[in-house]
Chain A
Amino acid sequence: MKRILVIDDAATVRLYHRSILEELGFEVTEAVNGLEALERVAEGDFDLYLVDINMPKLDGYGFLRELRGKDMPQAPAIMVSTEAGANDQKLAFLSGANLYIVKPVRPERLASHVLTLLGMTPNGRGAPS
């Protein structure tokens, strides 16, 4: 089963993402900031990261830079932000994100991106029951 790490300091957002991702049948792990996320990464590989930007201790940019600096299989990362500026997207890409999306994310849209980044074929995208 594909494992996804959801990193966000807001419990509400984590719950939102978790509910969407679990419905798609993925295994979701949570982290409340970049530091904790790095600990989770040290414990096991993930197939995808969902990263918030603004977080205490270590923010999303910092986490991605650390992650991309590691000698390990590099899974795609989606940066989830509330800013829709082009510059914000560039900052995300510079630090190692592969996709930049803006909150609030519609469930279908998030699902679509996640499936694409996990390489799921269209028939794998059955409507969630």
Chain B
Amino acid sequence: MNPLLDQFITEGRDILQTIGERLLQLEDTPDDSALMGELFRLVHTLKGNSGLFDLPEMTRVLHAAEDLMDAVRDGRRPFDRPVADRLLEAMDFVLALIDEIGDSAEAAPPNTARHANDALELANALRGLLAAAQATTPTATETEPAATPAPSPAPAAMPLEALPSRIQQELTQRLEAGEPLCWLTYEPEEECFFKGEDPFHQILQLGEPCWRRVSSREDWPPLAELDAYRCILRFEAILNTPAEALHEHFRYIPEQVRIIPLQPPAPTSASSSEPPPDAETTWSFNVVLEAQREILGLTDNPPWLSGRLRAVATTLEAAFASIGQVVERDALEQALHSADASHSSQPLLNWLDEQQRRGDTQLPTAASPPGAPAEDIAPPPEAQEPQEPIKFGRRAEDRLAGHTLKVDQAKVDRLMNLIGEMVVTKNALPYLANRAEEVFGTRELAREIKAQYGIINRIAEEMQDAIMQIRMMPVSFVLQRFPRLVRDTARKLGKEVRLVMEGESTEADKNIIEALADPLVHIVRNSLDHGLESPAERSAAGKPTEGRLTISARQESDRVVIEISDDGRGIDPDRIRRKAYERGLIGEPELERLTDQEAINLVFAAGFSTAEQVSDLSGRGVGMDVVRNAIACVNGAVELHSQLGQGTRLRLSLPLSMAVTNVMIIESAGQRFGVPMDRVAETVRVARNDIRTIKRRLTTVLRGRLVPLVTLNDLLALTIEQVPNDDDEFAVLVVRIGADHLGIIVDDCRETVDIILKPLGGVLAGLGGYAGSALLGDGSVLLVLNPRELL
């Protein structure tokens, strides 16, 4: 994809994002004119950008949106819900187009013509809102730019010469009679038939022309190869229609037409005898000169008049130089000086008249030796410097505008993987030191290796930390879609909901943030669907009709905490008990025994869904267990609190980062295993005598608390006894499972290491009880246990 298109897509997405946010803000404060101005500017910028490419559908919709925003900004149309809805819809359409373009690998934007009908409908809908508001005001803002800003003295001689002399004569007469004749060239795009365009009809609609010609833009292929659906025609016509009217007629396809107002042939010989330097140059020169005349004709007298006059003088001098005409510096300086002194443009105008009068006679000869640069035009010192070829990257360091670097995610991920490998590799050094000492008997070397390891270890850790920082993303990355989602969902459900978001700038690792996205959507939909009541129900319960949904994020030590709370009807523990019983999730005894909190937690049980009827919003057959599992996948935890009639609060707690896992190595049955440190509460030695059997289950008392015990070998279905140490004490790993503690008896607890946890792949992927595997520094593979699943 070419860089310009790339840039357009990136910027386009950013702009659309901002537009969406501003629209929602504007709904809350419809009178905020600054906001409105910004919104207009954003739409306007996007439209301008889209015009750089061949994207008529996008431009069409954006143009209509811009006009509507313009009307809103000027107060011709109030900003209300239909406007917001339409604009959001239009922006969604544009985003879809941008995504489509972004997905295509082509260098040029793909043809989006099949969206033409949608675009037309959207544009008409937008304009419909506009028309309703301004039945009296004509849509004057509406001339889509074509090519020429001002009616320019066009190079009429060029095209007219090709015409038969009879028509030339007729045209000259009509021009002299003051008819607004225009030369129109219309080259329909090749795919025009697929867009529902009818070029021939377009031309016929213009009425009887003075002259008309249809030709092909390229040689016709042999009949067998002719593609009848490809339009390669060129229509040319000379019409007695003002240029403005023609622009209006072709306003949706301005890039396909060229409209040149014809001028009566100049009385001088310039147009017919010697050809001017070239058409484009002369054209530019004339446009520039005309513009300067208009500027000099301005009658205001601003404080910056002097600067304006000097700029005009510079411009005039350059313009004459560009067609090879010598300008007498002194005369120009003098004119400028007296103009400046008298606060009047007249001296410069006089100079210009004089210069043009002389130029008319001078021009043909001055321009004829094209190889000789006019060295006597007293240019600024470097004006005649030979044109250097472009050097890319030149002065690049001067141009770095901001201090933020946009980097492809994949590059950062790669960096992260590399540092992960490095962390593991550096762990080989202590093994090497041990080997140096024990196998090769060189203690000295062993010590040096260890010292060096200390340094490498520190640098690696700092580096890892630095890379981790790069990957940190604000929570707003996933929160930003909620204003829209909540708004649309609430409307669909006929509820009034106010969304409050707090702490959006809280940061966490990219993987964590990404893992949050889907669970959050599910939770929020649940809240909207089941939690918050309808306005009628709310007012009956004595609550304000507008429900409140809060999403807050904050950092608590090394975890990110996200809370989603609503002030809805809350969860009824009795109903949950009943449901759970009906579904066979709990037995009769639990029905009585469960505390309210425990009952509420049952919503996390697999196969539990409280929705009485499946709605298209949250009742998609997935329940809160999916949320919990998704969060658990990134080592997060979910807590649910609910007060009947008061509301529900869900608390997600996630680690800041998950790239490197700290595990404790344990031994059992002669093998080594890893256990994630964030699961380990403590490790203790428990004497055989202190282990009791209660109801056939092993337990022990730790700090006055009864802790159930299991042996790892049992969990792994190994029929080997755990091995105590010489003092007949067992090593016990106390792990956290939810709010409870559980002791796992192992043979020995060893050191903790940082590892990169890789999920088990292939046929082992379904193996429960293991979080994954990791490569140790000595090259061996460590299986990492997942205590929760193991139990």
A85 touches B52 (CB 8 A): no
- In the complex, what residues of B have CB within 8 A of residue A126's CB? 387
CA distance A101 to B283 in the complex (A): 13
Q: Does B379 contact A (CB under 8 A)?
A: yes
Query: When the two chains form the complex, which single residue of B291, B385, B394 contacts A100, counting CB atoms closer than 8 Å?
Result: B291
B389 touches A129 (CB 8 A): yes
| Whole-angstrom distance between the Cβ of A78 and the nearest chain B Cβ | 10
- In the complex, what residues of B have CB within 8 A of residue A56's CB? 38, 41
B311 touches A15 (CB 8 A): no
Query: When the two chains form the complex, which single residue of A12, A65, A74 contacts B314, counting CB atoms closer than 8 Å?
Result: A74
- In the complex, what residues of A have CB within 8 A of residue B141's CB? 83, 85
Interface 1/0 per residue, A66-105 and B, CB below 8 Å: 0111100111110000111110011001101011111110
Interface 1/0 per residue, A23-58 and B, CB below 8 Å: 111010110100000000000000100000011100
Query: When the two chains form the complex, which single residue of B278, B318, B385, B389 contacts A76, counting CB atoms closer than 8 Å?
Result: B318
A74 touches B307 (CB 8 A): yes
- In the complex, what residues of A have CB within 8 A of residue B401's CB? 30, 32
B48 touches A68 (CB 8 A): no
| Whole-angstrom distance between the Cβ of B405 and the nearest chain A Cβ | 15
| Whole-angstrom distance between the Cβ of A47 and the nearest chain B Cβ | 8
- In the complex, what residues of A have CB within 8 A of residue B302's CB? 65, 94
A89 touches B48 (CB 8 A): no
A10 with B49, Cβ < 8 A, contacts A84-B146, A98-B311, A100-B149 known = yes
B387 touches A82 (CB 8 A): no
CA distance A76 to B281 in the complex (A): 17
Q: Does B721 contact A (CB under 8 A)?
A: no
Which of these binds chain A: B124-132, B320-328, B595-603, B623-631?
B320-328
- In the complex, what residues of A have CB within 8 A of residue B324's CB? 121-122
Query: When the two chains form the complex, which single residue of A30, A47, A76, A104 contacts B48, counting CB atoms closer than 8 Å?
Result: A104
- In the complex, what residues of B have CB within 8 A of residue A125's CB? 278, 281
| Whole-angstrom distance between the Cβ of A19 and the nearest chain B Cβ | 7
CA distance A86 to B243 in the complex (A): 13
- In the complex, what residues of A have CB within 8 A of residue B283's CB? 112
- In the complex, what residues of B have CB within 8 A of residue A90's CB? 294, 298
A93 touches B307 (CB 8 A): no
Interface 1/0 per residue, B303-316 and A, CB below 8 Å: 11011101110110
Which of these binds chain A: B263-271, B369-377, B541-549, B782-790?
B369-377
Chain B residue nearest to A118 in the complex (CB): B318
A68 touches B307 (CB 8 A): yes
Task: Give the A interface residue count (CB, 8 A).
Answer: 67
A116 touches B145 (CB 8 A): no
- In the complex, what residues of A have CB within 8 A of residue B558's CB? none
- In the complex, what residues of B have CB within 8 A of residue A118's CB? 318, 322, 383
Q: Does B397 contact A (CB under 8 A)?
A: no
A74 touches B390 (CB 8 A): no
Chain B residue nearest to A111 in the complex (CB): B280
| Whole-angstrom distance between the Cβ of A23 and the nearest chain B Cβ | 6
Q: Does B44 contact A (CB under 8 A)?
A: yes
Chain B residue nearest to A68 in the complex (CB): B307
B395 touches A27 (CB 8 A): yes
CA distance A84 to B259 in the complex (A): 14
- In the complex, what residues of B have CB within 8 A of residue A129's CB? 389
A93 with B322, Cβ < 8 A, contacts A54-B45, A76-B311 known = no
B3 touches A113 (CB 8 A): no
A84 with B145, Cβ < 8 A, contacts A69-B303, A115-B284, A121-B373 known = yes
| Whole-angstrom distance between the Cβ of B238 and the nearest chain A Cβ | 22
Query: When the two chains form the complex, which single residue of B4, B307, B385 contacts A16, counting CB atoms closer than 8 Å?
Result: B4
Query: When the two chains form the complex, which single residue of A11, A85, A115 contacts B7, counting CB atoms closer than 8 Å?
Result: A11
A10 with B11, Cβ < 8 A, contacts A30-B401, A96-B308 known = yes
CA distance A1 to B388 in the complex (A): 8
B304 touches A19 (CB 8 A): no
| Whole-angstrom distance between the Cβ of A118 and the nearest chain B Cβ | 6
B304 touches A69 (CB 8 A): yes
- In the complex, what residues of B have CB within 8 A of residue A73's CB? 310, 314
| Whole-angstrom distance between the Cβ of B752 and the nearest chain A Cβ | 48
Q: Does B317 contact A (CB under 8 A)?
A: yes
Query: When the two chains form the complex, which single residue of B8, B45, B145, B308 contacts A9, counting CB atoms closer than 8 Å?
Result: B45
B322 touches A121 (CB 8 A): yes
A100 touches B147 (CB 8 A): no
| Docked complex: B275-310 residues within 8 A CB-CB of A | 277-278, 280-281, 283-285, 287-288, 291-292, 294-295, 298, 300, 302-304, 306-308, 310
CA distance A102 to B149 in the complex (A): 6
CA distance A115 to B3 in the complex (A): 25
CA distance A68 to B11 in the complex (A): 32
Q: Does B562 contact A (CB under 8 A)?
A: no
A12 with B147, Cβ < 8 A, contacts A75-B314, A117-B288 known = no
CA distance A122 to B374 in the complex (A): 10
CA distance A23 to B146 in the complex (A): 24
A122 touches B322 (CB 8 A): yes
- In the complex, what residues of B have CB within 8 A of residue A85's CB? 140-141, 143
Query: When the two chains form the complex, which single residue of A67, A98, A101, A104 contacts B292, counting CB atoms closer than 8 Å?
Result: A98
Q: Does B382 contact A (CB under 8 A)?
A: yes
Q: Does B51 contact A (CB under 8 A)?
A: yes
| Whole-angstrom distance between the Cβ of A116 and the nearest chain B Cβ | 4
Q: Does B712 contact A (CB under 8 A)?
A: no
CA distance A89 to B297 in the complex (A): 13
A99 touches B287 (CB 8 A): yes
| Whole-angstrom distance between the Cβ of A125 and the nearest chain B Cβ | 7
A84 touches B49 (CB 8 A): no
- In the complex, what residues of A have CB within 8 A of residue B312's CB? 98
- In the complex, what residues of A have CB within 8 A of residue B281's CB? 112, 115-116, 122, 125
A96 touches B307 (CB 8 A): yes
- In the complex, what residues of A have CB within 8 A of residue B314's CB? 73-76
B288 touches A12 (CB 8 A): no
- In the complex, what residues of B have CB within 8 A of residue A93's CB? 291, 294-295, 298
CA distance A11 to B402 in the complex (A): 13
A119 with B145, Cβ < 8 A, contacts A94-B298, A98-B292, A98-B315 known = no
Interface 1/0 per residue, A4-20 and B, CB below 8 Å: 00000111110110010
Q: Which of A82, A84, A115, A129 has the most CB of B within 10 A?
A: A84
- In the complex, what residues of A have CB within 8 A of residue B149's CB? 84, 89, 100-102
A104 touches B52 (CB 8 A): yes
B311 touches A121 (CB 8 A): no
Q: Does B399 contact A (CB under 8 A)?
A: yes
Q: Does B150 contact A (CB under 8 A)?
A: yes
Q: Does B367 contact A (CB under 8 A)?
A: yes
- In the complex, what residues of A have CB within 8 A of residue B143's CB? 84-85
Query: When the two chains form the complex, which single residue of A11, A65, A116 contacts B318, counting CB atoms closer than 8 Å?
Result: A116
> Assuming A12-B4, A56-B38, A120-B322, what are 13 further A-B pairs, CB within 8 angstroms?
A1-B388, A10-B11, A11-B11, A22-B390, A82-B47, A82-B51, A98-B291, A99-B288, A100-B150, A115-B284, A117-B322, A119-B317, A125-B281
Closest 7 CB pairs of A and B: A68-B307, A119-B318, A119-B321, A102-B145, A68-B304, A74-B311, A74-B310
26 A–B contacts from the bound complex (CB under 8 Å): A10-B11, A12-B52, A19-B4, A54-B41, A54-B45, A75-B311, A76-B311, A82-B51, A82-B145, A83-B141, A85-B143, A93-B295, A98-B311, A101-B149, A109-B284, A116-B322, A117-B318, A119-B322, A119-B383, A121-B322, A121-B323, A121-B373, A122-B277, A122-B324, A122-B367, A125-B281
Interface residue ranges, B against A (CB under 8 Å): 3-4, 7-8, 11-12, 38, 41, 44-45, 47-49, 51-52, 140-141, 143-147, 149-150, 247, 255, 277-278, 280-281, 283-285, 287-288, 291-292, 294-295, 298, 300, 302-304, 306-308, 310-312, 314-315, 317-324, 367, 370-374, 377, 379-380, 382-383, 385, 387-390, 394-395, 399, 401
